[in-house]
């Protein structure tokens, strides 16, 4: 898939105010500071489509971007940011849960995982919850350029082993680097195929 246009559409904390569910949506979520905004900008081929920040937990709303005028890329709030207030964290949780449960046009939820880290409890908890929502999932390991190849393979193997204790079969897995533009073609090809096949929530 070639991205010919990318346009910011809306930013809401209320799922009910999101755009009409008349186009396929592909949402991106992960722990705070996993590199989500950088990945979105890399996929779009634009430096400042999604706002990046050195401050974890910057995304606090559901952000819709219209891609090629045919599908939505959705930037969801990060989870697991310990410095957010308890009430704010609960709000993020409610917002995320309502979005995942209620958006009937959600074709795939991409869960971003930091390739530099061993399996994290809050990632595993979110994956387990999302897996029960009848939404197609895919995993994107970010920042793979920050590791030596043997370290990367060791961390990937640890994640797969841990996930297979909870899953019979793993969702699609992508390796990415926003700086090196690694994974861009593969992720966009996956989106293109999913749209063509009409995949989405059951």
| pLDDT tens per residue, range 152-167 | 999 999 999 999 988 8
Q: Of all residues in the chain, what percent are helix, strand and coil, respectively (each to 5)? A: 35, 25, 40
pLDDT in tens, 37-50: 899 999 998 877 87
The answer to whether the CB of 179 falls within 8 A of the CB of 41 is no
Segment among 130-134, 142-146, 150-154, 160-164 with least mean pLDDT: 130-134
The answer to whether the CB of 6 falls within 8 A of the CB of 65 is yes
The domains of the chain, with CATH numbers, are 6-197 (3.40.50.300)
């Amino acid at each position: 898939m070639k991205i010919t246009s990318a346009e910011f559409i809306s930013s809401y904390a209320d799922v009910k105010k999101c755009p009409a569910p008349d186009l396929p949506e592909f949402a991106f979520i992960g722990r705070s500071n996993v590199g989500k905004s950088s990945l979105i900008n890399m996929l779009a081929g634009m430096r400042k489509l999604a706002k990046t920040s050195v401050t974890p937990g910057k995304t606090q709303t559901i952000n819709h971007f219209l891609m090629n005028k045919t599908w939505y890329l959705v930037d969801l709030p990060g989870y697991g940011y310990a410095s957010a207030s308890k009430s704010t964290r609960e709000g993020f949780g409610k917002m995320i849960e309502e979005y995942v449960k209620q958006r009937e046009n959600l074709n795939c939820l991409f869960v971003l995982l930091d390739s530099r880290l061993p399996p994290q409890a809050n990632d595993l908890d979110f994956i387990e919850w999302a897996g029960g929502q009848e939404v197609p999932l895919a995993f994107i390991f970010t920042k793979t350029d920050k590791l030596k190849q043997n370290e990367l393979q060791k961390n990937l193997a640890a994640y797969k082993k841990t996930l297979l204790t909870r899953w019979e079969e793993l969702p699609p897995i992508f390796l990415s680097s926003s700086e090196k533009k690694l994974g861009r073609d593969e992720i966009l090809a996956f989106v293109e195929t999913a749209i063509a096949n009409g995949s989405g929530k059951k």
